[in-house]
Amino acid sequence: MTVQKRRRMGRRAALRVDRLLAATARAGVAVPAAPATGLRAPGQPDLPAATGDPALPSLGVIVYNRLAFGARPGDLAAFNALGGTDDARLGAWINQQTNPGAIDDSECDARLAAAGLATLGKPLPQLWVEYYRGSAGRTVPVGDVRQATFIRAIYSRRQLNEVLADFWHNHFSIYGWDYSYASATWVHFDRDVIRAYMWGNFRQFLQAVTVSPAMLYYLDNYINQVAGYNENWARELFELHTLGSANYLGVMNPLDVPKDQNGLAIGYCDNDVYEAARSFTGWRVNNGSSGAPGDDGTFFYHAAWHDKANKLILGRYQPANQADMADGNLVLDLLASHPGTARYIASKLCRRLVADDPPQTLVDAAAAVFTAAQGAGDQLAQVVRTICLSAEFKAAWGQKVKRPFEAAAGLVRALNADFYPSDDFHWTFSAAGQSLFGHRSPDGYPDRRSDWANTTSLLQRWRLANRLVRNELDDVTVDLLAQMPGGLTTTHQIVDYWISRLLGRPMDPPSNRAPLVDFMAQGRNPDFALPAEQIAERLPHLVALILMAPDFQWR
């Protein structure tokens, strides 16, 4: 950067540029030099070392609580039978899970079929005609997807698939319950966009998101036109979907932004947002109005609405009068291949799958794979494999707390309940603060423990546990006595069985077994058999208590 540029830029802009240059330089190093000394990225404040951190559990427990919605009975034993070493077991599990179509999912399929969610199989034009234009109810499709999402999280054996669907729904987050294009076409967004591309190529994923009616509507690009720009989509595309705010340089002269070795700007400024908004003019929805040729909810490029003048995007000059959609496609090309996007997507995936502040070595490794595989059809699968098979993955535990969705699905899985998500269930669940597709702003639900280790999130998951074990909620049945092997009669036997069954490991610390024994025994000798009626009376509350324990909340 020249002295003149620096002077023109002002101190704050210069500082932002310097920070970004440092990050860019680091990403250029093939083998990161920094040792993985801790689980905190540079620049993150260190929390005081805690003595109460939970011990590292078996790898199966880690896998089922971070790459799945918790273990159902039998899951951990099946994991342990996958190989003779942890690496062999993890490798085999990841091989299965990254090829979800090959996993038999008949139980989940049967439950979905029994649920009769009629919109799930309908193509986009039919959804549009029946639910947006017609009178069948605009929120029926998003309601059906919500039901299916819970059923899958609980019963699908394609667990990593469900974890990733949740991740990408929060990455490309849309408020689903608006009485609108988004709610009426939600099946399309979930099925044909999120789930269809989340294992594939990020550039193609980005294209599918950009032209989906739900996103075109939610971020207002469906009305973005040369006669009047709407920059909502363009701004969030840069900030939330690709480069992230770490690569945002604010209001500054685009000519002052340094370039990387490929001649691309190292970050974006407000001018890039305006130029991108112009690039996407005319990307709209076939909605029967203002020159649309049809009315079926599909994507429609309206050349007459497009701003054909020349543009400057991330330092790249785009001459005027390009072919249809070429301006917008260039923006997506530049963003999808930008190293800043690789760093941002990699760090978010690592935060979801490993730790709130993942080791920089892992983020760099995942970003390197993202960049190296950018032409590949399984680019995102390669990134996910890199993260899940890393040493850092196996070494991390207890840095995260389950969000309410993982906690709720995990409760039902651990209880092996016969479950259908009733209104009653949703009501209790949503009080914890994470109703599905219910985040109004486009940033998705947060993914750090500081956002979820609060009174509401904890209290409401405890409350859900109590209501589930008592069979209080409509359409949920659990028979705990029937699930307990015969012959277990003493407090010690009963407590130990359920600790192992629900958590897959002893209490941590071991002294936390005592309050459970005290609770179950209620003053009786824990070595002696409890009367059957006392077992029947107390068992649901004991089970709920184990599920409320810290051991059940860690990821």
Residues 328-357 that bind another protein (CB under 8 A): none
Smallest distance from another protein to CB 146, Å: 18
Stretch that binds another protein, among 68-76, 293-301, 339-347, 508-516 (CB under 8 A): 508-516
Q: Does 510 bind another protein (CB under 8 A)?
A: no
In degrees and rounded to multiples of 5, residue 314 shows phi and psi of 50, 40
Q: Does 481 bind another protein (CB under 8 A)?
A: no
Stretch that binds another protein, among 147-155, 179-187, 218-226, 318-326 (CB under 8 A): 218-226
420-427: Cβ within 8 A, 24+ apart: 420/111, 420/115, 420/147, 420/151, 420/475, 420/476, 421/146, 421/147, 421/150, 421/151, 421/475, 422/473, 422/474, 422/475, 422/476, 423/474, 424/473, 424/474, 424/475, 425/473, 425/474, 425/475, 425/476, 426/146
Question: In sequence order, what are the residues at sequence separation of 6 or more whose Cβ sits closer than 8 angstroms to the Cβ of residue 370?
Answer: 202, 341, 342, 345, 346, 379, 383
Q: Which two tokens stand for residue 45?
A: 């404040």
Q: Does 456 bind another protein (CB under 8 A)?
A: yes
Stretch that binds another protein, among 232-240, 335-343, 418-426, 477-485 (CB under 8 A): 232-240
Determine which residue in the list 29, 102, 514, 536 makes contact with another protein, applying CB under 8 A. Answer: 514
Q: Does 114 bind another protein (CB under 8 A)?
A: no
Smallest distance from another protein to CB 45, Å: 4
Q: Does 253 bind another protein (CB under 8 A)?
A: no
- Report DSSP letters for 166-222, one per residue: HHHHHHT---TTSTTHHHHTHHHIIIIIIHHHTTS-HHHHHHHHHT-HHHHHHTTGG
Q: Are 409 and 552 in contact (CB under 8 A)?
A: no
Q: Does 93 bind another protein (CB under 8 A)?
A: no
Determine which residue in the list 231, 272, 275, 406 makes contact with another protein, applying CB under 8 A. Answer: 231
Smallest distance from another protein to CB 382, Å: 29
Q: Are 488 and 499 in contact (CB under 8 A)?
A: no
Stretch that binds another protein, among 118-126, 311-319, 412-420, 515-523 (CB under 8 A): 515-523
Question: In sequence order, what are the residues at sequence separation of 6 or more whose Cβ sits closer than 8 angstroms to the Cβ of residue 255?
Answer: none
Residues 382-411 close enough to bind another protein by CB under 8 A: 401
Short-list 351, 301, 297, 345, CA closest to 327: 301
Q: Does 256 bind another protein (CB under 8 A)?
A: no
Size of site (CB under 8 A) for another protein: 72
Stretch that binds another protein, among 62-70, 106-114, 208-216, 235-243 (CB under 8 A): 235-243
Determine which residue in the list 454, 477, 500, 525 makes contact with another protein, applying CB under 8 A. Answer: 454
Smallest distance from another protein to CB 200, Å: 27
Determine which residue in the list 2, 37, 51, 321 makes contact with another protein, applying CB under 8 A. Answer: 51
Smallest distance from another protein to CB 458, Å: 5
- If one counts every other C-beta atom within 10 angstroms of the C-beta of residue 230, the result is 16
Determine which residue in the list 432, 494, 495, 535 makes contact with another protein, applying CB under 8 A. Answer: 432
